[in-house]
Every structure is written in structure tokens, then in C-alpha cells.
């Protein structure tokens, strides 16, 4: 579902805090329009005055001096007007850029986890970039267009006072010019939107390929990826050419229209001059004003093209803002207060796809400070169980409660502040090690970071790096090994020290020696915390107070390790299938 947010509404919202600058734009445009039409008229008077004093040249300067001075003052005023416009843009545009970037990033990060699963990161960042640059271009275009339109109105009014016939000709030509330009404008805008969509797709594919450069190398798929990108680029180029061809056809019309206007005006002026109906000054005034108006309209129409292109990009980028947030805080949502840490699923029903329920009327209570292991084959519902507690997805019906508080009735930030999550596949920010560890508690001192690092056995390898804790880890932490990234994640979790701890087998990427050290640290971290562990190693389960066995969304067994082994059920079957100390992810039907 999408909201009815339009580009016009979005731009008006962006301008609302800066109304005073908008009024200055209007004043500057009006001043420019009047002076731009007045300058040729003053020049006409100067020429007519010089011609009238042809027989007494010494008196010419006295006669034209006030008009010349006024003409110079007029251009000084225009120059001042343009610099005032620059100042307004300097004050306005950076502020709007900042507001837009902040607003779009805040809204983007408010989308659900599912949204990011379904969209390329590269495409999303490209959309923000398009909106960032596009809105400013649109505002500049609208300001210029408004000034040119006012200039046209004032010029026609001025010509109406001098020679009504030429005013009528100019008005008819201008209306025809704008109407036919608008005829081209609509398909150009549509083609621009299509081109922008494809271009964004290409950027997304580039980022996807670059992010997976290791896979490209390992599978020797350089040619395959190159062809895939080439096909997408070829599609974008084809759409770009279609748009540019429409622009060329519009410009051919412009060329013909100015030739017609100037030819008609010159023929009429020559004829009227022969009949003493116009002066030399009138001749200069009408031709110069006609050319000025044409170039203004040509520029205006060119701005229409720019507007169409940028509007197409912005409308495509606006999809980020059009899509409503799937998971939102209620208006009356309060912060989650955790004193004990009991977690309860009460009649919870959830599905990923319509008609396929993963959980149905699920009820389970995890008492405060209990250590619970989750086991089951791949796709049995373990990760979904954890994701629902984190409210990365909303339940279809029922409630998930923490200390009796429905997590749908509290703020998302407060919920996640009370939960520490260590995923199996840890990714890091392309920032320093210090920043990545401190992410668990952004107000932590350097000493606290180092203490947590020592507990997680990060300090040993960090201290050996040239830059130490200031070392950059690369995109997604690519400069570190899997075990090093996992230790950073454990240190970060220790620094956060939330009352609820969720581990997706946080030591699975470590060697046996390092695992032993970190298991000691995790054992300390688990003290007095409600702990949920998605277990892959058998050694992890020995530390659990309780084990929940998942199968197709159902908890089919619940008990201690000893109890479940004695029951000789699903868990005992998995135990028998163990290999190298790991539980199986898929069932072996031959066993």
C-alpha cells in the first residue's frame, strides 16, 4: 500500500520552514522581470533621442544624459538583484538539502526489516542521492521559470503600450510556444521516470556485485556479472536515447518558432518604417525585446526539460517516502521497563506469506533469568521466534509480553535497548574498531571499551594492529576474519549489558581455543539475564536451563537436555545425528 504523497506536497513541506526566503524569491523575480523589459524601452528612447538631434549633435548628450544614467542604474540594479538571488540560494538550498537528507534517512531507517530484505541497499542510497540533488534543481527551475513567466507578462504589457499589433503577435506566439512545449514535456517526464527506475536498478546491481566480489572471484563469474550489468546498462541507455530524441524534436520546434517570429517582426517593421509608422528606436525595441523574450522562453522551456528529468528521478525516489512504515509505535506507546525479564508468547499467530502460518496460537513462557536453548532443523522457526521478540516483524494476532508489557504497546527503541543480540553472521560498520565496539553503548569511555574487549578476547589482536583501536575494519568488517568480527560483536554486547540476551550461536565462527575463552566471557555476560540461544553446537546446550525443540513452527519438545534425551523424541534423534559437535540443520531421512 502507498500513501498519496505527491512530489508537489513533498516540496511544499520542505519549503514551509523557509517562507521568508520564498517571498524574497518572488520579489527578486518581479524586480528582474520589470527591469528586463524596461531596459530595451529605455534604449529605444535613447536611440530616438539621438536620431531626433541628428542636426544638432552638441545638444545630444544633454538630451540623452538622464536616460543613459537611468539605463546604467537599471543594469546596476539587475546586477544587485542577481547577487541578492545568489545570497538567498546560499541561505536556502544547503538548509533544504540538510533537511531532506535527515528526513529521508530517518524515514528510511524507520522501515521494517522486511523492507530492507526486499530492496537493494545501492538502490535505496541512489534514491536518496537523486532526491537530494533533484529537489534543489527543481526549486531552481521553478524560480527561474517564475521569473521568466513574469518577464513575459511585463514584456507583453510594455509592448502593448508601444505597439499593440506586435504585442498581439508576441502573445500568440508565446502561447503557441508554451502549449507545444508542454505537449513534449509530458512524455519527456514519463520517459525520465522510466529511465530513472532502470538507472536505480543498475546502481543496485553494481553495489550487489561489488559487495559480493569474493563470490565472483571464487566462482570465476567475472564474465557472467559483466554481461548482467551490460544488459541492464543497455536497457538504461535505450531509455535515455528515447528521452533525448524527444528533447531533440522539441528543440527543432523551438528553432522553427524563433525563425518565424523574427522573420514576421522584421518584415512588418520594415514595411511600417517605410510608411513612417515606427521609428528607429521602435525597430530596436521590438527586435531586441522579441529576441530577449524568445531566449527567456527558450531557457524556460529548457528548464521544463530539466524539470521533467529531475521530477522523474524524484518521483521514483519518493517511493521511499510513499511506502508507509510496516511497524510503527502506537501514539500512546510508552518506554519498556524491564525489572525481571520474563518473556511470554500469548496466543501468537504469525505468517510470512498469506495462508502459510509459521506460528499459530503459540503460547510459551520464558521465566526471568532463565537460559533457554532453541534447536531445530533449518526453517523450523527458531530465528522467527527471536525476530518476533525483537519486533522486527509484527504478529498477526496475540501478544508477546516482556514483564507483562505488550511489546506492540511500547516504543521500538526502548524494546531493543533492553535486548542484546549477537547474530551468527556479524557485520560491522566501515568505521574504527573503537566506534564499532562502542556502538553497544555510545557514551562508554575508552577504558570501558577496552575492558569489554579484554573480556571478549579482542584486545589481543587489536593491540597488534598498527592503528590499534583506531583501525578501520572495511565495509561490513571485511578486513577482519569471521572469528575477529564475532569477538567484536561479543565485546559490543558486553558493553551494552541489557537484561535480555539473545545469541545466534555467537561462538560458532571461532576456533576451539578462542571459543573456550569467549565461552567464559559469555558465561559471565549471561549471569542474571534472560538468555535465549539459537544453538548449533552441542557444547552450548550443556549450559542451558531449558531447551525448546522447534519443528515447522511448533515447539514439539520442552525440557532439559537430560529430560529430552530420555524422552527419545525429536531432540534425541537430532542428538544422534550430530557431526563434529554440531547439531544438523536438515533432517536425514535415511537415519
- One digit per residue, the tens of pLDDT, for the chain of length 591 reads 344 457 777 778 888 888 888 888 888 888 888 888 888 888 888 888 888 776 666 777 788 888 889 889 988 988 898 899 889 888 888 888 888 888 888 888 777 777 776 776 767 777 777 777 778 888 888 888 788 888 888 888 888 887 888 888 888 888 888 788 778 877 887 887 788 778 777 877 777 777 777 667 666 677 888 888 888 888 888 888 888 888 888 888 888 888 888 888 888 888 888 888 888 888 888 888 777 777 777 777 777 777 777 777 777 777 777 777 778 888 888 999 999 999 999 988 887 765 555 777 788 999 999 999 999 887 788 888 998 999 988 888 899 999 999 999 999 889 989 999 888 778 888 889 999 899 888 888 999 999 988 888 888 888 888 888 898 888 777 888 877 888 888 888 888 889 999 988 655 556 666 667 667 667 777 888 999 998 877 667 777 899 999 888 788 999 998 898 899 898 888 888 775 556 666 665 544
Gap between the Cα atoms of 50 and 280, Å rounded: 10
Q: Which of 231, 230, 298 is nearest to 259 (CA)?
A: 298
Which helix or strand (DSSP H or E) is residue 591 part of? none
Q: What pLDDT score was predicted for residue 2?
A: 43
- Same domain (yes/no): 216, 232: yes
Helices of type H across 59-163: 60-109, 113-117, 121-162
Residue with cell 517564475: 146
Residue 22, burial from CB neighbour count under 10 angstroms (0-12, 13-18, 19+)? middle
Phi, psi of 340 (to 5 degrees): -115, -50
- Same domain (yes/no): 379, 274: no
- Same domain (yes/no): 137, 115: yes
Work out how many domains the chain is built from and give that number. Answer: 3
Query: What are 150-157's contacts with CB under 8 Å, separation 24+?
Result: 150/29, 150/30, 150/32, 150/33, 151/32, 151/33, 151/36, 151/37, 151/293, 151/296, 152/293, 152/296, 152/297, 153/33, 154/33, 154/34, 154/36, 154/37, 155/36, 155/37, 155/289, 155/292, 155/293, 157/37
Residue range(s) defining the domain that contains residue 479:
429-485
Reading the block at residue 432, the C-alpha cell is: 574504527
- Same domain (yes/no): 408, 462: no
- Same domain (yes/no): 99, 192: yes
Of the residues 303, 322, 341, the one at which a domain ends: 322
Of the residues 322, 345, 366, the one at which a domain ends: 322
- Same domain (yes/no): 212, 309: yes
Any domain includes 242? yes
- Same domain (yes/no): 271, 401: no
Q: Which of 581, 590, 587 is nearest to 556 (CA)?
A: 587
- Same domain (yes/no): 472, 562: no
Any domain includes 492? no
Q: What pLDDT score was predicted for residue 591?
A: 42
Q: Domain with 381 in it: what CATH number? A: 3.40.50.300
Any domain includes 179? yes
Gap between the Cα atoms of 181 and 184, Å rounded: 5
Any domain includes 1? no
Of the residues 296, 322, 348, the one at which a domain ends: 322
Q: Domain with 110 in it: what CATH number? A: 1.20.1560.10
Any domain includes 163? yes
- Same domain (yes/no): 158, 143: yes
Any domain includes 269? yes
- Same domain (yes/no): 411, 443: no
- Same domain (yes/no): 528, 507: yes
pTM score: 0.66
- Same domain (yes/no): 318, 410: no
Any domain includes 423? no
Any domain includes 122? yes
Amino acid at each position: 500500500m502507498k500513501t498519496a504523497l505527491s512530489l508537489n506536497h513533498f516540496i511544499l513541506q520542505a519549503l514551509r520552514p523557509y517562507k521568508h526566503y520564498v517571498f524574497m524569491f518572488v520579489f527578486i523575480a518581479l524586480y528582474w522581470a520589470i527591469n528586463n523589459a524596461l531596459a530595451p524601452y529605455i534604449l529605444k528612447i535613447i536611440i530616438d533621442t539621438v536620431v531626433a538631434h541628428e542636426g544638432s549633435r552638441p545638444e545630444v548628450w544633454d538630451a540623452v544624459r538622464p536616460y543613459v544614467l537611468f539605463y546604467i542604474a537599471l543594469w546596476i540594479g539587475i546586477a544587485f538583484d542577481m547577487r541578492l538571488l545568489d545570497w538567498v540560494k546560499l541561505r536556502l538550498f544547503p538548509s533544504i538539502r540538510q533537511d531532506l537528507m535527515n528526513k529521508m534517512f530517518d524515514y528510511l531507517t524507520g522501515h521494517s526489516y522486511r523492507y530492507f530484505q526486499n530492496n537493494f541497499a545501492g538502490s535505496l542510497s541512489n534514491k536518496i542521492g537523486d532526491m537530494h540533488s533533484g529537489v534543489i534543481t527543481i526549486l531552481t527551475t521553478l524560480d527561474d521559470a517564475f521569473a521568466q513567466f513574469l518577464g513575459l507578462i511585463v514584456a507583453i504589457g510594455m509592448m502593448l503600450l508601444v505597439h499593440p499589433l506586435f504585442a498581439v503577435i508576441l502573445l500568440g506566439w508565446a502561447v503557441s510556444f508554451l502549449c507545444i512545449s508542454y505537449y513534449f514535456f509530458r512524455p519527456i517526464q514519463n520517459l525520465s521516470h522510466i529511465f530513472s527506475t532502470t538507472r536505480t536498478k543498475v546502481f543496485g546491481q553494481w553495489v550487489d556485485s561489488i559487495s559480493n566480489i569474493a563470490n565472483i572471484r571464487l566462482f570465476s563469474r567475472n564474465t557472467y556479472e559483466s554481461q548482467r550489468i551490460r544488459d541492464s546498462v543497455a536497457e538504461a541507455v535505450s531509455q535515455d536515447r528515447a528521452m533525448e530524441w524527444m528533447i531533440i524534436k522539441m528543440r527543432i520546434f523551438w528553432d522553427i518558432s524563433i525563425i518565424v517570429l523574427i522573420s514576421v517582426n522584421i518584415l512588418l517593421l520594415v514595411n511600417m518604417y517605410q510608411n513612417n509608422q515606427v521609428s528607429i528606436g521602435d525597430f530596436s525595441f521590438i527586435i531586441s525585446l522579441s529576441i530577449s523574450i524568445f531566449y527567456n522562453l527558450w531557457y524556460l522551456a529548457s528548464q521544463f526539460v530539466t524539470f521533467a528529468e529531475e521530477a522523474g528521478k524524484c518521483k521514483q525516489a519518493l517511493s521511499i517516502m510513499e511506502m508507509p512504515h510496516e511497524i510503527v509505535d502506537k501514539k500512546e506507546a510508552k518506554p519498556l521497563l524491564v525489572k525481571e525479564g520474563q518473556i511470554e508468547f500469548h496466543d501468537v499467530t504469525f505468517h510470512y506469506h498469506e495462508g502459510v502460518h509459521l506460528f499459530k496460537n503459540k503460547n510459551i513462557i520464558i521465566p526471568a533469568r532463565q537460559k533457554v536453548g532453541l534447536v531445530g532443523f533449518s526453517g523450523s522457526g527458531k530465528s522467527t521466534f527471536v525476530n518476533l521478540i525483537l519486533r522486527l516483524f509484527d504478529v498477526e494476532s496475540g501478544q508477546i509480553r516482556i514483564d507483562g508489557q505488550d511489546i506492540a504497546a511500547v516504543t521500538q527503541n526502548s524494546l531493543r535497548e533492553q535486548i542484546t543480540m549477537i547474530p551468527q553472521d556479524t557485520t560491522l560498520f566501515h568505521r574504527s574498531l573503537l566506534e564499532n565496539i562502542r556502538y553497544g553503548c555510545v557514551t562508554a569511555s575508552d577504558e570501558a571499551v577496552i575492558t569489554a574487549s579484554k573480556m571478549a578476547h579482542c584486545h589481543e589482536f587489536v593491540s597488534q594492529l598498527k592503528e590499534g583501536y583506531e583501525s578501520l575494519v572495511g565495509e561490513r568488517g571485511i578486513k577482519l576474519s569471521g572469528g575477529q568480527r564475532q569477538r567484536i560483536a561479543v565485546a559490543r554486547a558486553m558493553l551494552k549489558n541489557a537484561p535480555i540476551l539473545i545469541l545466534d550461536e555467537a561462538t560458532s565462527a571461532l576456533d576451539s581455543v578462542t571459543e573456550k575463552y569467549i565461552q567464559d566471557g559469555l558465561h559471565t555476560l549471561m549471569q542474571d539475564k534472560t538468555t535465549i540461544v539459537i544453538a548449533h553446537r552441542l557444547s552450548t546446550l550443556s549450559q542451558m536451563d531449558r531447551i525448546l525443540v522447534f519443528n515447522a513452527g511448533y515447539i514439539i519438545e520442552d525440557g532439559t537436555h537430560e529430560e529430552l534425551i530420555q524422552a527419545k523424541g525429536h531432540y534425541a534423534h537430532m542428538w544422534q545425528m550430530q557431526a563434529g559437535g554440531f547439531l544438523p540443520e536438515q533432517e536425514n531421512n535415511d537415519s
